[in-house]
Structure formats: C-alpha cells, structure tokens
Amino acid sequence: MELGLNGKTAVVTGASRGIGLAITRALAAEGVRVVGAARTVTPELEKAAAVTVSADLSTREGATAVVERALETIGGIDFLVNNVGGGDSGRPSQGHFLDADDEQWQSFFDLTLFSAVWTTRAALPSILERKGSIINISSITARVPTGAPVGYAEAKAALTQLGKRLSEELAPRGVRVNTVSPGIVASSLWTDPNGFAGRLADAAGISHDELLARIPGQSGISSGRMTRPEEVADLVTFLLSDRAANIHGADHVIDGGTLKAA
C-alpha cells in the first residue's frame, strides 16, 4: 500500500527506544525525515533519525527546544508524534494512592501531558500551514487504571482528552489529531530484567521470565502475547498517511484484546 509519506517531515518524542524508536524507523522507511527527541540519544536513534535532539521533554524549555531545532534543520513540520510518557519517569512508587507523593504526580503529568502541550503549541503553526497531523500515544490504562502506578493512568487519560479537544478545534482547519492507546507492549520497559518489569518481579518474589510468562493470562490479553513496538509503529504510520484522511479525533486501541468492553 502506497502511503504517500515520502518527503514529509516529523518530530517524534521519546524516540530513543521502544515504541518511539519503532515509529522513527517506520516513518524513515517511508521516506519521512524524522527529528527524534529523547533525554538520551542512543546509537539506534542516531541511525534511524535524520536529526536527533537530546532534551528533557518534561520541561517547557526542553520541549520547545526540540521543535525549534526541527524547524531549523528540516524547515517545517508535517507530523508530530507525542510519544514520550510515564515509562521514562524514573522509579515511581507501585504502592497505593497514599504512597504517591506530589513529586510522582508532577513527574507523570509533566512528561506525559505537559510535554505534549508544549511541543504541540510550538509545532502547531507549521503543522497548520502544511495541513499536517498529530498523534498522541496514550494507553489503555487511561480507561482501566488497575495496576498502573498512581498518576500514570490519570496523566494518560488527560492526554487522550487533549487529543479530542485538539481534534475538535483543528479538524475544520485541515489538521488531523488522533490517539493511539497500546496495551502492554514488549518494549524494554517489560523485557529488560533490570527495568520496570524486573522490579515488579522482585516485588512478587518471582523471576523476570516467570513474570513475562504470566502477563498475557493475568492481563486478559486475548491474543496470548504482548503487542510488539513495530505493530504500534505500523498503526501510527498508517494514521499519519492520507489513507487515513478522514480519521479525526479517534482513540485507536492496540492491545491484543485486553479491553473487553465494546
């Protein structure tokens, strides 16, 4: 299927690994010049992106600097993918509501919600001029927060609502805004035994491999496996293309059938 993306430009946040890196690679394969932004620029991102920017996207200055760098280097922005999120928020408490302090709440909202607000505000004049598209990467935890660290699901729910608000305002002006909400994705957040999943396994007194084996059943994933980052990237790539020209303001779930409600 010809997507007609060759020669377009994009900014992808949280692009150094996982979903963000997969999106960067998928867009680059379609001929898109991608500015990949992350706190730490990895060799993999350097190879995939046309331009890389190291920035703290949880700050207004960092988020704005990414867009400014993109405008300087690629001349304009057709697409913005707000992917950076809670998975990069250090080591949040896995406890109850009373265990989460203000810093944890603020960290999730700054990185997940406000980073998208800041990058969108800075990039929007160029996107409007080019009749481009914005995609926010949310999560099914925005609908069912069970098991998510306190503050994470709430920030994702706000991000999903931001997408709907932006779509209502921008669709009449020729800009499409959509949301993609993955379930559990087989990124390093889960596959790295020294990462988030490793800490969960330690807390449960089981091995990392045993935790991964239990996830599909315990999470109710009908397909029996986690979603691959490349599958999310393929969905994002399609939604950015003209093949999806009349898809506006939608929240696209990709979770292997985890959510059971219609």
What positions carry a catalytic annotation?
Answer: 152
Residue 209 C-beta-side C-alpha neighbours within 13 Å:
0
Residue 255 C-beta-side C-alpha neighbours within 13 Å:
25
**How far, in Å, CA of 12 to CA of 75, rounded?**
16
Residues ≥6 apart with Cβ < 8 Å to 261: none
Burial label for 39, CB within 10 Å (0-12, 13-18, 19+), is middle
User: Could you tell me which of 247, 259, 257, 240 has the C-alpha nearest to residue 83?
Assistant: 240
Residues ≥6 apart with Cβ < 8 Å to 98: none
**How far, in Å, CA of 114 to CA of 120, rounded?**
10
3-state secondary structure of 244: helix
- Alpha-carbon distance values, 185 to 200, 216, 226, 231 (Å): 16, 11, 5, 9
Helix 152-170, helix 115-130: angle, nearest 10: 20
**How far, in Å, CA of 168 to CA of 116, rounded?**
17
The one-letter code for the residue type at 144 is V
